[in-house]
Chain A
């Protein structure tokens, strides 16, 4: 028995595995990066930025590098910094709009193939210079990266209806799905501010357009969250609160018309107009106004997607049924482009009480 055991040991040693130890990730020796900010660099390279050391109270530095490959960036950082950078706690990937126009999918593939990275990573587009924002803000805010993450997490959970929050998996799933196109939130960054701008639109994996803040509200209502905490309609001097929508889409058999019926429920948050909305008939008129406003806006939104020939609203999914073989994406989009759109809203507003 002893001889057998010793033979085993010798074999193990000879097969080149002298130590059972695996990768060392001792927490005090690593710097678990929480975000990468990617930007276009000089000479066709990337500019890759992060704050180090992450998740500690220490004073932070901004690290920026020009690299060809994403992983090369990580390596170069390690040569520069006293703790090893690790991707296991990566929570946000902030991509500059300009870079996104050129390529996005290869970047995301790289991130996705890393087993350390959780598919719950938030993807964000940025217009302007996020690096400048970091540079300024890190002086004021100690845990900038952490608070940014908490913000995304807050809006992701239970769909707060303020922003489109998209994580890595959702994005990829939509890229591959023939009847839907991914979206990403887009932020505007400058020295002082980091503000939500709207939703960036993609055609499969190409960045093609954008819903601005006003359109974005409609988008949240009919496609993304089906909920808005607050829907201001300045045009009618009214603001609706806790708006919940139920969307019913129908495409006819010849793929000629699209009927969208949205049932909306909400209450009046604020009113600054001249109508006496405590009166029922006045209120009805008001509701009607809101309906026609929403119809106009929504129709505009759908038109925009038809013009761009993209599918963030996932209309095509409504044409699928268990027994019919689906058409290809191209066929569907050709139909979709020419489709007539009818939008109908039924708004129910809880009576205002004082």
Chain B
């Protein structure tokens, strides 16, 4: 079955190539045909002051009309004897030949000019630069540090990164992805730092993407992942230009997409998912503490409830007598076994979480209150859940939000369920099974073919400086070893200055 799919895909590709080869010359009729029933497409015919006639073809929603007047229509009308093309005062004017070219330019916001006399077609880029302003990042808020975040326009995003890294070594390669969306993709890396092998892998991966709709960063990453079935993201998404610049400087690759404010960063490791830009703002001891706290809370989030189930179902002998007293007291009149009790509560919590996320801000407050009361108070009073469990569910729900990466936050929920099931079979041993398999899984993952669990396995002791502990920046004189960067030193010594 799989092979068949492959074959059809290959056929498609062949067809496309055939189309490209048989390009027809541009004619007004063909363009009229193509823009039929496109009410926003305009075809205008005019004459210059000395009688030469020309046509303009454009899609009015895509272009900047004021500039059309200023930069094309006015100069052309008063062009006199000059050649058309010399009158136009914009930077990008292209001669086009085939209808395909014409369509493509038109759809990316160009005005097509037809010189009737010479039968020449020109495309002038006049796209509408409408976009929102640069705003604060909402997904990764920090107290100190730069506040700007990406917008939907790729040019603006590249600008924000380039401004931070004004070096010619910062390369930006352009690609196009998505047969319908024709999304512009730019791969950024610093030549001379990023490992060329990794860049090549990324390049290959991007050009291999074959899909109709690439609307946002995750769509692209889905086609570039090494492990499709993993719970863990193999690309980091961020809308902070400073994180991107930082990653580029370390030797990673940043992939920007047009029309989405999120950039993909790769190769990453599991531990990057726990790092926040703010780690580098705090004093290093505090930052290390906070980072350790995040790992701890990830651990708590996936094991706390399973542990409750394991202890109350199998290992009552592990609980100190004082706590056992509380547990027996609160569980004595419940209708469900610990496993079902936890499962139900967790699902309810997930429902509330999901609901408050999808709702407008004002409604979500109501949901919070209702959820709080229903879960906290009523469930206990009605005798559906024990007080202890409510406390634990609360703790683990909050703990999973300490992980800065939202995708991992959601992954923890699923992991929690999986380990919960294992715990209900084998107690502590089941939890251990879950954690060991999780470790084995993480060990097997890769991001752009680079090991995902990197500074731990394969072991790079030097990188541990920025792992659980965030050592003072002056100590981090070398780039991470696992990225196998071309230049190793971050300071001006050793293999030359940067």
Which residues from chain A sit less than 8 Å from chain B, CB to CB?
20-28, 30, 32, 34, 55-57, 86, 88-89, 91, 116, 118, 143, 146, 149
Contacts and interface: CB of A to CB of B under 8 A. Distances in A.
B387 to A, nearest CB: 14
A118 B320 CA distance: 12
B205 interface: no
A44 B331 CA distance: 41
A207 B397 CA distance: 57
A21 B425 contact: yes
10 contacts: A20-B425, A26-B312, A27-B338, A28-B328, A32-B324, A55-B328, A56-B325, A57-B329, A116-B317, A149-B321
Contact of A56 (B316, B328, B337, B426): B328
Contacts of A25: 313-316
B338 A26 contact: yes
A55 B317 contact: no
Leading 7 A-B pairs by shortest Cβ distance: A88-B317, A28-B331, A27-B312, A55-B325, A25-B316, A28-B332, A25-B314
Most A Cβ at <10 Å: residue of B317, B329, B337: B317
Contact of A146 (B313, B321, B331, B427): B321
B395 interface: no
A165 B208 CA distance: 74
A263 B317 CA distance: 43
Nearest to A88: B317
Given A55-B321, A88-B316, A116-B317, A27 B328 contact: yes
B324 A89 contact: yes
B235 to A, nearest CB: 32
Interface string B298-326: 00000000000000111111000100110
Contacts of A24: 313-314
Interface of B: 312-317, 321, 324-325, 327-329, 331-332, 334, 337-338, 425-427
B321 A91 contact: yes
A283 B329 CA distance: 58
A23 B314 CA distance: 7
Given A55-B328, A56-B329, A22 B315 contact: no
B380 to A, nearest CB: 15
Contacts of A149: 321
A35 B492 CA distance: 71
Nearest to B326: A55
A32 B316 contact: yes
Most A Cβ at <10 Å: residue of B314, B328, B331: B328
Contacts of A55: 321, 324-325, 328
Contacts of A34: 321
A26 to B, nearest CB: 5
A97 to B, nearest CB: 27
A32 B323 CA distance: 13
Contacts of B325: 55-56, 143, 146
A111 to B, nearest CB: 14
Nearest to A153: B321
A28 B334 contact: yes
Contacts of A89: 316-317, 321, 324
Contacts of B324: 27, 32, 55, 89
A118 B331 CA distance: 24
A143 B328 CA distance: 14
B320 to A, nearest CB: 9
B432 to A, nearest CB: 14
Nearest to B327: A27
A56 B332 contact: yes
B304 to A, nearest CB: 17
A44 to B, nearest CB: 32
Given A22-B427, A25-B316, A27-B312, 10 more contacts: A25-B313, A26-B338, A27-B327, A27-B338, A34-B321, A55-B325, A56-B328, A89-B316, A89-B324, A149-B321
